[in-house]
A and B are shown apart, each in its own frame.
Chain A
Amino acid sequence: MITDEPRVRRQRRSLSGWGRTCPSVADVVPAGSADQTIAASPAVIARGLGRSYGDAAQSAGGAVLDATSLPRVFELDESSAVLRVDAGISLEDILRRIIPLGFFVPVTPGTSRVTVGGAIASDVHGKNHHKDGSFANHVTELTLLTPTGPRRLRPDDESAPFFWATAGGMGLTGFITEATISLQRVETGLIASDTTREPDLDAVMQRLVDVDRSSGYSVAWVDGLAKGRSFGRGVVNSGDHAPLDAIQPDQRPTARRYDPGVVSLPPLPYPQPPGIAMKAFNELWYRASRPGHRVESITSFFHPLDALANWNLVYGHRGFLQWQFAVPDGNESLIAESLQRLATTDGTRPTLIVLKRFGAAGRGHLSFPIPGWTLAVDLPVNGTALRATLNDLDAKVVAAGGRLYLAKDSRVRRELIPHMYPRLDEWRSLRNELDPDGRFVSDLSRRLHLTIFDQEHVTE
């Protein structure tokens, strides 16, 4: 059969997020065919390294643009510390090339295996949010492929509204193909860090407030499985890039080395680990976190889980959720209540809990961080009792003026979204200008009615 259609290499594949719940099948298309694909597909979304936990980078029955196949662009201006890259490059690959030259990315999330496009679309944050804000704060220009043509967007000129609709816009404004980022200068590829163990949640929070005054990076890990008085105990890590003179002279020649080792699990359908294993993991983490000052690697400080490439398999074949919210200061009790509720929900084992303070909010309409606290909890799927608990807690987050992180979500009730993101309608209007036919669609946007002006509002 002869067709006029230009040949596009496409592969039908089942895709899911990092949490491995809710898979759907779509045509995966290399980024080189983005123009034709956007023109021809009624539903298209970009996908990077698949690290969003829910359904943001999949589009059932549609086309998914594989951003990691973008042609390689890498232009570093060392005098101005500005880097222009294709949006499909990972932070890990960037770090490999820039750390030896004395640079560091402006913001890194808890894994280095995200693409620049994904980092912008989710407007990711890192351990320096209290000081430096989220990723998009450090992007000076990006190229966006839209159904109405390519756009060059900047944060402060007449294209700014579209830039900020794209930063945190979950890939729904178009396909980010290139970005220019301001880098940090660093003397070494090491972190001078301090670790403390705190006996309870109040102490963890107090310590986070204290270290944020002086440290550039901070984060707390909380044990949600310990019983009684130890409930909410935690480990607080803080640190800054180590200056060269903080390093032992004999180690200075290798101080700019960045070479994260990685192992993979064979891709088998692992059973969900029993509660006792998860408790043991938490106990071990607590005990293994030696208090004190040390100089450690980028990977051990920022990306400890990256050492096991597919650690998401460990939670078992039913997958897991990550529930992450942000609330303003004054809602400390909601954090304690959330942990209590989750720990006592039938079948639920909150396994990895991370607490952090946020600084000023970004300018993105759907950007997640707001000043205050953020809590992230890994929750292996085991029974449906968790569903009701999370629905209750979501309502309390909204009542507290907080929100959930779309890059992590797989289950929030859609009625809550306009309350969590009050600028949603403004974002929808901007999005509609870029994509009037609504071609950019993901399972996330369908589930939450993100791109359509919606009539379903909260009634209770």
Chain B
Amino acid sequence: MNDPFGIPETVLILGATSEIATDMAVTLANNGSRHFVLAARSIERLDDLARRLTDAGARSVDRVAFDATDLDSNQGTVRQIFADHASIDLAIVAFGLLDTGVSAGEISAVDVAMVNYVGAVSVMEPMAEAMVGQGHGVIAVLSSVAAERPRGSNRLYASAKAGLDSYSRGLGDALADDGVRVLVVRPGFVHTRMTEGLEPAPLSVHPPAVSDALMKGLTGRRTVVWAPPPVRLLMSVLRHLPTGIYRRITAGR
């Protein structure tokens, strides 16, 4: 269960090697979360995080191999994780794929849609089912401000996140009476490996700002949190700009 301050005892993170997820995990451990289940493509890359969590007071850290594109086995993987633990109080869906920047490489358009949207839906459906059975739980989803309005350059990522964002809010509405909460986290530009080489957008932040947004979302009853909070205002303006002006502003970005 989450305590009265919103701190979960047991945390599942899918895509735990991402820098944002790593920072969230350590923040949660520092605030009193005790058990972690970390899922990522290569569990060897989780060694360092596991050590940091233990140092921060975590009592147990389990590692699970997980590939978001492996759609056939995702449901089974998630069900197994819930079966192996008495309760998952917070599940963070943190994996994602960005098709621009230096790490883009050979990423295909379909990969972006697949990982960010289809992959996320494939884990969140069994997650929701298991949490309804538990009678409680929070699913935190890493969306993006890009979900609010795409640019020409990030259309793949933005549209996939828009799909995920929309699905997540709908899921939250569906589960409202089942004791399960879905928290959509919308970061602006975050300086990480994933965005390395990209020109930072206004109001850019580092991963701890996203963790702050998560923690704030856990203590309240909000369904959407922004990192940093003022980016909400910025996006609200951008979303309402006429196409011509919007294109001129975002040209080359």
| Size of the chain B interface, CB-CB below 8 angstroms | 25
Q: Which of B1-41 contact A (CB under 8 A)?
A: 1-7, 9, 31-32
B72 at the interface (CB under 8 A from A): no
- Which of A24, A318, A386, A411 makes the CB contact (< 8 A) with B135? A24
Q: Please name all residues of chain B whose beta carbon is closer than 8 Å to the beta carbon of A59 when the two chains form the complex.
A: 135
Interface stretch among A14-22, A67-75, A119-127, A258-266?
A14-22
In the bound complex, what is the Cα–Cα distance between A410 and B215 (angstroms)?
19
Q: Please name all residues of chain A whose beta carbon is closer than 8 Å to the beta carbon of B31 when the two chains form the complex.
A: 384, 387
In the bound complex, what is the Cα–Cα distance between A11 and B132 (angstroms)?
14
Dominant secondary structure at the B interface: loop
Contact A384 B219 (CB under 8 A): yes
Contact A446 B7 (CB under 8 A): no
Contact B219 A318 (CB under 8 A): yes
- Which of A60, A62, A386, A387 makes the CB contact (< 8 A) with B1? A60
Dominant secondary structure at the A interface: loop
Q: Please name all residues of chain B whose beta carbon is closer than 8 Å to the beta carbon of A19 when the two chains form the complex.
A: 4
A317 at the interface (CB under 8 A from B): yes
Contact B179 A410 (CB under 8 A): no
The bracket for how many chain A residues form the interface is 20 to 34
- Which of A21, A24, A25 makes the CB contact (< 8 A) with B4? A21
B59 to chain A minimum Cβ distance, whole angstroms, is: 7
B221 at the interface (CB under 8 A from A): yes
Q: Which of A5-55 contact B (CB under 8 A)?
A: 12, 14, 19, 21-26, 55
Given known pairs A317-B221, A387-B32, A446-B87, the reply for A25 and B136 (CB within 8 Å) is yes
Q: Please name all residues of chain B whose beta carbon is closer than 8 Å to the beta carbon of A141 when the two chains form the complex.
A: none
Contact A384 B5 (CB under 8 A): yes
Q: Which of B170-210 contact A (CB under 8 A)?
A: 177-179
Given known pairs A61-B135, A62-B135, A456-B59, the reply for A447 and B179 (CB within 8 Å) is no
The 27 listed contacts between A and B (C-beta, < 8 Å) are: A12-B177, A12-B178, A19-B4, A21-B3, A22-B3, A24-B136, A25-B132, A25-B135, A60-B87, A60-B134, A318-B219, A319-B4, A321-B4, A383-B5, A383-B219, A384-B5, A384-B6, A384-B7, A384-B31, A384-B215, A386-B5, A387-B7, A387-B31, A411-B4, A446-B87, A447-B9, A456-B59
- Nearest 3 pairs between A and B by C-beta? A25-B179, A60-B135, A61-B135
Known A-B contacts: A384-B6, A387-B5, A410-B4. Give 8 more (CB < 8 A). A21-B4, A59-B135, A60-B134, A60-B136, A61-B135, A61-B136, A318-B220, A410-B3
- Give the B-binding residues of A (Cβ under 8 A): 12, 14, 19, 21-26, 55, 59-62, 317-319, 321, 381, 383-384, 386-387, 410-411, 443, 446-447, 456
